[in-house]
Amino acid sequence: MRRENLVVVITGANRGIGLALVQEYKARDAFVVGICRSSSPTLDALADRVVADIDVSEAASVARLADAIDDLEVDLLINNAGVLYGETLGNIDYATVLKQLEVNAMGPLRVTEQLLPYLNDGAKIALITSRMGSIADNGSGAYYGYRMSKAALNAAGKSLARDLVSRKIAVGILHPGFVQTDMVNHAGDISASVAACRLAERIDGLTLENTGSFWHSNGELLPW
Ligand SMILES: NC(=O)c1ccc[n+]([C@@H]2O[C@H](COP(=O)([O-])OP(=O)(O)OC[C@H]3O[C@@H](n4cnc5c(N)ncnc54)[C@H](OP(=O)(O)O)[C@@H]3O)[C@@H](O)[C@H]2O)c1
């Protein structure tokens, strides 16, 4: 159904940066769909629609998304859900490496592919990646699975950007900053709401001219 206000779909919407993005887009009067594994009271109170029980790493789970939004025409899809585990050389847990590839790289690709029929021509897609996925910027090593998964997500983002030009869909590959969420034990240097506000500014500036670029939420262009 065509709506007057922007229709925004956000994964990992129950907490952290995803929840702050729900708040940001509600403040902009968007119609917000929050996708999550389990909802939270704040998400329930804010979102126009909550789609729970969706694990982005499971094909059958993501397939259920279609029924949950098939009455909507989506203007913005934000693939935000992600996980971070730390592996150290000599003691690498390949199960966590694989999990990060499944959630952080394959998850956003799967969700995007599933929702493509419901995206407007001219819609936007944001992939919340990390500068830890930058090979050029890796000055400290370790974090094998996280770095590999975010580099893979960046590669997928570039292909999506190329493939979706024909539908006038722009793709932003966005690092949120070092953000005070559970993922980093709240050790970040900006709050989730500041990160969400900056990410929304980058998404505002996303066009078919700069599609497929890798941005820090502060506006800096990041190296691959
Ligand atoms: N915080 C930072 O400094 C930082 C820096 C760079 C990039 N990022 C990226 O920003 C994004 C959001 O992170 P955050 O800091 O907000 O982390 P967070 O507070 O740990 O939140 C992670 C979100 O992802 C969801 N999620 C995890 N695994 C999932 C799965 N298999 N299926 C569906 N949802 C899943 C979580 O849901 P549950 O509640 O169900 O676990 C939660 O909603 C991630 O992609 C992360 O890599 C964060």
Q: Measured from the CB, is residue 103 less than 6 Å from ligand 1?
A: yes
The pLDDT score that the predictor gives to residue 2 is: 61
* Backbone phi and psi for residue 182, each to the nearest 5 degrees, phi listed first: -55, -35
57 Cβ closer than 6 Å to some ligand 1 atom: yes
Residue type, 197: C
**Could you give the 3-state DSSP secondary structure of residue 174?**
strand
pTM of the model: 0.98
Q: How far apart are the first and last CA of the chain?
A: 38
DSSP state of 103: I
| CATH 3.40.50.720 is right for the domain spanning 7-216 | yes
- Counting ligand 1 atoms within 8 A of each CB, the residue from 148, 179, 191, 222 with the most, and so the one to mutate, is 179
Q: How far is CA 108 from the centre of its chain?
A: 7
Residue 83's pLDDT is what? 98
- 130 pocket-lining for ligand 1 (C-beta < 6 Å): yes
pLDDT digits (tens, 9 = 90+) for 77-131: 999 999 999 999 999 999 999 999 999 999 999 999 999 999 999 999 999 999 9
CB 206 within 8 A of CB 124: yes
pLDDT of res. 133: 98
- Low-confidence stretches of the chain (pLDDT < 70) are 1-3
Query: What's residue 4's pLDDT?
Result: 74
* Atom of ligand 1 minimally distant from the CA of 56: 32
Q: Whose CA is nearest to atom 40 of ligand 1?
A: 37
* Nearest alpha carbon to residue 24 among 56, 52, 47: 47
Q: Which atom of ligand 1 is nearest to the CA of 150?
A: 47
Three-class SS of residue 222?
Answer: coil
**Helix, strand, coil percentages, rounded to 5, for the chain:** 45, 20, 40
Q: Burial code of 20-52, b = ≥16 C-beta within 10 A, e = fewer?
A: bbbbbbbeeebbbbbbbeebeeebeebbbebbe
Residue spans of the domains in the chain: they are: 7-216
| Pocket test residue of 77, 181, 194, 202 for ligand 1, highest count of atoms within 8 A of CB | 181
The CB of 83 under 6 Å from ligand 1? The reply is yes
Collapsed DSSP state (helix, strand, coil) of residue 102? helix
Q: State residue 1's pLDDT score.
A: 57
* Spatial CB neighbours of 167, under 8 Å, sequence gap ≥ 6: 119, 121, 122
Locate tokens 């789609």: which residue? Answer: 51
Tell me if residue 137 falls in helix, strand or coil. Answer: coil
**Could you give the CA distance from residue 23 to residue 31 in angstroms, rounded to a whole number?**
11
